[in-house]
Amino acid sequence: MPFKPLALILALSPLCTAAQTVGVAIDAKVILRNGEGAIPERPAADSAAFFRLENGQLHKLGEVAVPTSYLGPPTSIAVSPHGDLALVASSSIVDPADPKRYAADDRLSVVDLSGKTPKVVQTLKLGVRPSSVRFDRSGATALVSSNPDNGFVYLAINNRRARIADKLTLEPNTGPLSTAFAPDGQRVLVAQADAQRVSLYDWRNGRIVQPSIRDMAAGVTPFTVAYCGADLAVVGNFGRPDSGNGDIDTVSLIDLSGAKPRVIDTVAVGSAPEDVACAPDGRYAAAAVQNMSNRPASHPWHSPHSLVVLLKIEDRRLRRVDAAPIGAWAEGVAFGDDGRTVLAQSIDDRALHVLKIEGDALKPAGAPLVFGNGAPVAISVAGR
């Protein structure tokens, strides 16, 4: 074997990665009561907590009070590519006229992460109800999806501040829920739940280029999307949100190479995959699956726990290789840069679970991190 300097060996090792910034949105306005979401009496303030993920260990950087919401996909928080800024969106508040109901919200908070502790530096009213927020690969633009308002808000980022640069309304009944940017930053995938499709667009000068390159049919209610390297992606197909009947739902693999991107594989993962994520090396994908855990115990297919389902990507196919239980009512899931650390959230136990891939198995990596003030409902890792 040719000689390699120690520094090069360490740089090439998947276990020796630089620290990453992780953001977690915490909704204090939701609890699981008798198998249904409910608003607790006198809820605490919502917040966002930030961590450094290094060698599979989480180290807390700080926490700030910002509004957020569990309603919609678990993508209401975004950490910038360099980890120095975060955006946190809020789609709902407790209705001032009825403390047992939610009302619409349109706020976005800007959090400066460049100092010793996180600091809220701006609150922006978007004028639409946000479903998801993502930085583009440059970090100079962020894209807010709005399913209720059927479009997008473009945010220009400068000097750790955000401003509304433009808005885009899509054709009726499209309903964009979440987005994922290609590693080269030149394309963006959009899960369009109302239209029952995943659409691929060019991304140019901080804007979506219409029409789409291709519209693809994956499964029922495409919910969240994630790139798996340069030319593959996964989408979690949530199923019918209003059914709660225990039907098994799916994750699909998308081939983005060539002139005609298409869905090339679909596997069953359980009831209601809330989020999907991919390892940076593209070897694994993971789905946070609710698994009927947020249904009443009397339901014939009730489960006491959610699942993190591990999928292996081989020969451009998906293969389910393992599943690990976490607390009831799964939310976000994310990979660390080592490609072997998986972070997964659950509402009922208010916990962030840290798992490790060993072989093709998922193993708990210590006790879950429990939040005393609310439930973790969205997650973002810098650079993703």
- Which CATH number belongs to the domain containing residue 233 in this structure? 2.130.10.10
3 located within any domain: no
7 located within any domain: no
Q: What is the pLDDT of residue 244?
A: 62
The structure's pTM equals: 0.93
What percent of the chain shows pLDDT beyond 70?
A: 95
pLDDT tens per residue, range 317-347: 999 999 999 999 999 999 999 999 999 999 9
Mean pLDDT over all residues of the chain?
93
Residues in the chain: 384
8 located within any domain: no
What are the tokens at 73? 């996909």
Cα separation of 56 and 334, whole Å?
12
Per-residue pLDDT at 243 exceeds 80: no
Average pLDDT over residues 282-296: 96
Q: What is the pLDDT of residue 17?
A: 53
Q: Name the residue range of residue 184's domain.
A: 18-381
Whether 263 and 252 have beta carbons less than 8 Å apart is answered as yes
pLDDT tens per residue, range 170-220: 999 999 999 999 999 999 999 999 999 999 999 999 999 999 999 999 999
111 located within any domain: yes
Average pLDDT over residues 285-298: 96
Residue 258 confidence class, pLDDT cut points 50, 70, 90: confident
Cα separation of 125 and 227, whole Å?
30
1 located within any domain: no
Query: What is the number of structural domains in the chain?
Result: 1
69 located within any domain: yes
Cα separation of 381 and 82, whole Å?
10
What percent of the chain shows pLDDT beyond 90?
A: 91
What are the tokens at 85? 């800024």
Q: What is the pLDDT of residue 334?
A: 98
Residues near 249 by Cβ (< 8 Å), separated by ≥ 6? 219, 220, 236, 237, 238, 239, 268, 269, 270, 271, 272, 273, 289
Per-residue pLDDT at 13 exceeds 50: no
pLDDT tens per residue, range 68-118: 999 999 999 999 999 999 999 999 999 999 999 999 999 999 999 999 999
Per-residue pLDDT at 157 exceeds 80: yes
Residues near 98 by Cβ (< 8 Å), separated by ≥ 6? none
Q: What is the pLDDT of residue 384?
A: 74
Q: Which of 13-22, 119-128, 133-142, 297-306 has the lowest mean pLDDT?
A: 13-22
DSSP per residue, 48-108: EEEEEEETTEEEEEEEEE----SSS-S-SEEE-TTSSEEEEE--EEE-TT-TTSEEE--EE
Which residue stretches of the chain are H helix?
6-12
Cα–Cα distances in Å, from 207 out to 68, 114, 166, 221, 380? 25, 27, 9, 25, 22
